[in-house]
Structure 1
Amino acid sequence: MTLARPTTATRPDTGAAETVRRARRGPRRHHRRLVAGLVLVLVGAFAARVLLGDYTVTVPDFLRILGGAQIPGASYIVMESKLPRAVLAVLVGIAFGVGGAIFQTTLRNPLASPDIIGVSLGASAAAVSAIALAGWSGWPVSAAAVLGALAVAVAVRAVAGDHGGFRLVLAGIGLAAAMQSVIQYVFTRVDEYDVQLVLRWLTGSVNGVAWQSIALLAVALAVLLPATAWAARSLRATELGDDTAAGLGVGRHRTDVLMLLGVLLVAVGVAAAGPVAFVAFLSGPIARALNRGRTTLLAAGLVGAVIVLAGDYAGAYAFDDLNLPVGVVTGAFGAPFLLWLLARGRTGRRAG
């Protein structure tokens, strides 16, 4: 009489698990390659902005200038004009790119960018009022711009309530129109000596900004960007909507914190360079398209930096005897994109 051999436990099917792992690795590898490619493009745009133009600088001379060497003419042009404009363009582009992507992703509406719903105009209105009516200058004007952006964001959120979509966009457009009226009124009261400064707050420019202001922006981003990266861990759940996010354990307070960080990023960018038009609006959709439809704040920041650098270079050298602010250039390219988006009817993933 023979005994039956004991049966072994059935091994789990590892094929399905391996398929899932491969499906996850694919987008991650693509994202890494995308970020690496955007970094290379950003480095190239930065080098072109600093080394090329009406006055070209060789790489060895640039390195010598950074090391403290004094080259007649070149040292002043690089350290007081080209380099600060390039550094500020990168920082402002990152702030606008990440902030705009947060708005569009969290609110699930590509029109819900700081340019459209009035956050940028709120900062500009507060700064212009501080200059023309209060006679302020320097960091108090920047502080007023940040407070103005926060005030408009809170007002838009209060009017829209718990709804996103069209209601929030319409509330933002209404407040943006009100802020534009404030700016136009204040502009009629501005002193002729402050006209150029006020125009900078209306169009957006990275020209003529002191290194101290650039350092303050860098410090602000050094605080806000890591906080944003921490808060954005729940971004994928937030994209699915408030009800679904709540079912996955992501509370409303996390979305509010992320939105607050987005407002602050846009506010400090406006405080440093003015409302550079449509950078926050363009960066997110471009980064999403490059990332095969997936949201990526990192790529959005890099795209924003490239847009501001390229726009500043084009404004400075594309037209003979004409130096255009970067906000004029980005506005010229952003407006057709907005019209195309409206024509396609892609006003949101879900009407609110």
Structure 2
Amino acid sequence: MRSVVVSTAGWLLTAVIGAFALTRGDYALPLADVLRTLAGHGTLITYDVVVNNRLPRVLVGIGVGTAFAVSGAIFQRLARNPLVSPDLIGINAGAALAAVLMITVLGSGWIPLGALTGSLLAAMAVYLLAYRNGVSGHRLVLVGIGVTAIIGSLTAYLLTLADIYTAKAASMWLAGSLAGRSWTHVVLVGITVAVGLPAALASTRQLRLLELGDDLARALGGRVELARAALIAIGVGLAALATAAAGPVGFVALVAPQLARRLVPRRPGLLVPAAIGALLVVASDLLARTVVAPASLPVGVVTAFLGAPYLLFLLTRTNRI
């Protein structure tokens, strides 16, 4: 019941903040005009502002937050380590490297395929390097940090080879931004969540078994390696395609599952971090648009500003233990 209440409250608050975000911008609109436009009774100007510009940005933010949060929850529970998340163990970095390669060489139309391929390769590298008769959470973090550093240097090298306009576009994408999102991005992230979230929910029992350790999971009838591979594939797919839609928005995958565990201490389901992740991204994007208005910050800057102190808290707490 507590999970249901927290999830419902998170989604309702996300909807309220998203509706408020539709009213903000260079062309301010009252909420009544926004609702009228969404109902199909607005003018051509309000339709263009709300439906073609602001609504895709909000919807992509909700989808990206959901995908990152569920991906982070999967990896943290698999590794039994609160420091494990796609943006810290090289998965988002792999997607970013491949996406920058697509931007600078093949064009932006190949970003989703490149991000997915880069994430899969990075995840395979981290898993194989960290595997020693099983996967230790701390070893996964250390290997992931090293792989992230290597991939980051390769990404920086690609940016030095690109012309100034391409490098600027890639740098903006690397910061993690919802600016200029279109209905194409909404479709991409919508398909990602529509496929990945049910798959993750269907694998919840196997995830709970793997949290008990490989030996006990086998004793209870779990197919350990197959289940782990399937869950890793789901987590990588969610993180990769969310990165393709909005760039590597940092710390959402780290913070959302931890907040979920504190709000629902008794093993929260995956829907709780999903709601919190969506809320974090939508609220952070609203802050990014209003704090330095009329200028706008990339949403990844705000999530990093909010998430970095929490990472330091987790590091000091883990070190103390």
117 and 294 in structure 1: CA distance in 2 versus 1, 3 angstrom threshold? same
Deviation at 1:54, TM superposition (A): 4.9
Residue matched to 1:152: 122
Whichever residue aligns with residue 16 of structure 2, its letter is G
Deviation at 1:130, TM superposition (A): 1.8
Match of 1:195 among 141, 154, 167: 167
Q: Does 1:137 align with 2:108?
A: yes
CA contact (8 A) 1:287 1:299 kept: yes
CA contact (8 A) 1:279 1:304 kept: yes
Deviation at 1:53, TM superposition (A): 4.8
State the secondary structure of the residue aligned to 2:203: helix
CA contact (8 A) 1:111 1:347 kept: no
Residue matched to 1:303: 276
- In 2, the alpha carbon distance for the partners of 1:35 and 1:226 equals 16
CA contact (8 A) 1:123 1:149 kept: yes
Deviation at 1:150, TM superposition (A): 0.7
Residue matched to 1:343: 316
TM-score (norm: length of structure 1): 0.86
Deviation at 1:196, TM superposition (A): 3.4
Match of 1:242 among 184, 206, 214: 214
Whichever residue aligns with residue 297 of structure 2, its letter is L
Residue matched to 1:95: 67
Residue matched to 2:46: 74
State the secondary structure of the residue aligned to 2:304: helix
Greater C-alpha radius of gyration: 1
346 and 218 in structure 1: CA distance in 2 versus 1, 3 angstrom threshold? farther
In the alignment, structure 2 segments of 5+ residues that lack a partner are none
- In 2, the alpha carbon distance for the partners of 1:285 and 1:220 equals 23
Deviation at 1:258, TM superposition (A): 1.1
Q: Does 1:83 align with 2:51?
A: no
Deviation at 1:237, TM superposition (A): 1.9
Q: Does 1:261 align with 2:234?
A: yes
- In 1, the alpha carbon distance for the partners of 2:278 and 2:220 equals 34
In the alignment, structure 1 segments of 5+ residues that lack a partner are 1-28
Deviation at 1:169, TM superposition (A): 1.1
68 and 176 in structure 1: CA distance in 2 versus 1, 3 angstrom threshold? same
68 and 339 in structure 1: CA distance in 2 versus 1, 3 angstrom threshold? same
- In 2, the alpha carbon distance for the partners of 1:234 and 1:273 equals 30
The percentage of counterpart residues that share the same residue type is 39
Q: Which has the higher helix share?
A: 2
- In 1, the alpha carbon distance for the partners of 2:294 and 2:37 equals 28
Q: Does 1:280 align with 2:253?
A: yes
169 and 181 in structure 1: CA distance in 2 versus 1, 3 angstrom threshold? same
**The 10-residue stretch of structure 1 (202-211 or 70-79) with the greater mean CA deviation from structure 2:** 70-79
TM-score (norm: length of structure 2): 0.94
